[in-house]
Amino acid sequence: MTEKDNRYLIVGLGLMGGGYAQGLSSLGMHVAAIDRDPDSIAFGIENGYIEKGSTDADPTLIASSDRIIFALYPEIFIKWMEENAHLIRPGTLLTDVTGVKSPVVSRIQELLPEGAEFIASHPMAGREVYGVRNSSSVIFKNANFIITPTEKNTEEGIEWCRSLAVSLGFRKISVISPAEHDYMIAFVSQLTHCIAVTLMTCNNNTHLADYTADSFRDLTRIANINDEMWSSLFIMNKEFLLDQMDSFIREFGELRDLVENEDYEGLKKKMRLSSKRRKAFDLKEKQ
Amino acid sequence: MTEKDNRYLIVGLGLMGGGYAQGLSSLGMHVAAIDRDPDSIAFGIENGYIEKGSTDADPTLIASSDRIIFALYPEIFIKWMEENAHLIRPGTLLTDVTGVKSPVVSRIQELLPEGAEFIASHPMAGREVYGVRNSSSVIFKNANFIITPTEKNTEEGIEWCRSLAVSLGFRKISVISPAEHDYMIAFVSQLTHCIAVTLMTCNNNTHLADYTADSFRDLTRIANINDEMWSSLFIMNKEFLLDQMDSFIREFGELRDLVENEDYEGLKKKMRLSSKRRKAFDLKEKQ
């Protein structure tokens, strides 16, 4: 039996699940999906993303799957597993796309039946739109992919997850702990979304944007945000996120005081540090 | 005498001045420049941006210019005018590129000799690099341009400034007061630069950016910043900027408290407002 004989199941056929389904199908895999929305299942079948699907947690479909990918919001993922994990066959390999790891991974691994393995991962890709109709595996091309194993994972399981990412077109694949992931994501992704949202909500004079240069556009691109998903992610990663928000507030307050005190040298010093780090970041990106 | 017979003088042949010089020369205008750096003048002549130039405030060059464009940092602009405004001939039309208006415009208009007219303007274009060697009039294509006249300006003067912007390729030309400009710029440009700098300086763990998705890259693009120019601009626009920074801090603090209190509904409400405004902004941009 080769990898192509494995039957894939996508649970949650939305923007991310649809991208996985499309990518795997185009590689010649057998892909099925579960989604509560019959339109999403119908769209997936019509467009060749999946061979078949169900709007329920169909026991036969679940038990006949060798590989399962969960593309659900974190609470819904946990709830789904609480209700249906017993249907998963031993030997099944599972992964997910969830944007927080520590609170999810341990709970999911507890719920899994003996012999099945959940290797948590986070594809660092997305769009400001929703649903399978907007999905495309193109968003994975050259994106980053993070695998967050625990002591319950095997080398084989991690290797399967890595090869899945490679086959879907991800460029840089990192392996870190769930806690390292959550600390990192609080800074590079959640804090930036908090800032973008605040920029849009702190000032009602959005007509000012009539005059905008590129900076306002860039900083608010992600301000068009999936409110259900991100509210969940923020709350589930609360401790790390609050640390990052507080450190941002402290530092922003320092900059504010430099402006108030007309501290020209102090301002220049902050800006030179900022420029230096941003240039280093650009250099790394080009590597 | 047609507009093409007018002799243009660019004072400050850097990134912006170089862009104006290149654009005007390519339209067949006679362009000269003053810049304290002999290399910039030499580069301008060699590359056909200017016909001639000087590293000093050459009285003959100034007196023989019909149109003068100042592309200097704000304090240097004021100082230059204090020393040299008496050399400017009556009938000369002048404009600038300065990023703050209220503190600059009134002072410059005071310093001007009778019969010369300064029409302040702000081309909303730029790059994260410096100097004439990086300059190109390409950055003006489809960018916004703001004219900030006072009661001392004439319709003819404003019309000249507008036609200058059109000829250089700017798309949307707005006419607002210096104070409206400074209030607007504090929000859409200065606040966003403060945020980008803070994101780079608040956390030394820039290796975290190894894992970044697009959001961190977008929000920090402008964090590579011209420290001399922006420190000046921040301090000169201190009152409006502090208002915007304080309102950002208040709103960011509210979001922080919603996360701490796990206020799912409150978070979703903020995000929906943010999404609604960002979508409206996108629609406007497309018009």
Smallest CA–CA distance, residue A53 to chain B, in Å, is 31
Residue A206: pLDDT band with limits 50, 70, 90? low
Averaged confidence pLDDT in chain A:
94
pLDDT at residue B83 above 80? yes
Averaged confidence pLDDT in chain B:
93
CA distances in angstroms from A264 to A197, A255, A270, B99, B235, listed in the order given: 30, 11, 10, 17, 8
Task: Give me B134's structure tokens.
Answer: 């990086």
pLDDT digits (tens, 9 = 90+) for A215-270: 888 999 999 999 999 999 999 999 999 999 999 999 999 999 999 999 999 999 99
pLDDT at B123: 95
* Chain A contact present for B193, CB below 8 A: yes
Percent of chain B with pLDDT over 70: 98
B273: nearest CA in chain A? A201
Find residues 15-44 of chain A whose CB sits inside 8 Å of chain B.
none
pLDDT at B130: 82
* Chain A contact present for B205, CB below 8 A: yes
Residue A1: pLDDT band with limits 50, 70, 90? low
pLDDT at A213: 63
* Chain A contact present for B262, CB below 8 A: yes
Look up tokens 């943010």; give the residue: B274
B247: nearest CA in chain A? A202
What is the C-alpha separation between B264 and A7, in angstroms, rounded?
Answer: 37
Of A36-40, A129-133, B145-149, the one with minimum mean pLDDT is A129-133
- pTM for this one? 0.88
pLDDT at A2: 72
Q: Do A196 and B248 touch (CB under 8 A)?
A: no
CATH architecture of A3-176: 3-Layer(aba) Sandwich (3.40)
The minimal CB distance from A195 to the residues B219, B223, B282 is found for B219
Q: What is the ipTM of this complex?
A: 0.89
How confident is the model over B132-138, as a mean pLDDT? 90
Task: Give me B208's structure tokens.
Answer: 């975290």
Q: Which of A121, A237, A259 to mutate to test the interface with B (most CBs of B within 10 A)?
A: A259
How confident is the model over B19-34, as a mean pLDDT? 97
pLDDT at B285: 73
How confident is the model over B58-84, as a mean pLDDT? 96
Dihedral angle of Cα B17, B22, B28, B29, to the nearest 10 degrees: 10
H helices present in chain B, as ranges: 15-26, 38-46, 59-63, 74-84, 102-111, 155-168, 178-185, 192-201, 214-220, 227-236, 238-260, 264-286
| Contact criterion met (CB below 8 Å) for B201 and A250 | no
pLDDT at residue B218 above 80? yes
pLDDT at residue B168 above 90? yes
pLDDT at B1: 59
Find residues 143-162 of chain B whose CB sits inside 8 Å of chain A.
143-144, 146
* Chain B contact present for A196, CB below 8 A: yes
Residue A208: pLDDT band with limits 50, 70, 90? confident
pLDDT at residue A59 above 70? yes
Domain layout of chain A by residue ranges: 3-176, 181-286
A195 neighbourhood in chain B, CB within 8 Å:
195, 199, 219, 252
Residue B213: pLDDT band with limits 50, 70, 90? low
∠ at Cα A245 (B221, B282), nearest 5°? 45
Superfamily of domain B181-286: 6-phosphogluconate dehydrogenase C-terminal like domain (1.10.3660.10)
Residue A159: pLDDT band with limits 50, 70, 90? very high
pLDDT at A209: 67
CA distances in angstroms from B148 to A208, B145, B173, B215, listed in the order given: 15, 10, 11, 34
pLDDT at B43: 97
* Chain A contact present for B114, CB below 8 A: no
pLDDT digits (tens, 9 = 90+) for B273-282: 999 999 988 8
pLDDT at B206: 66
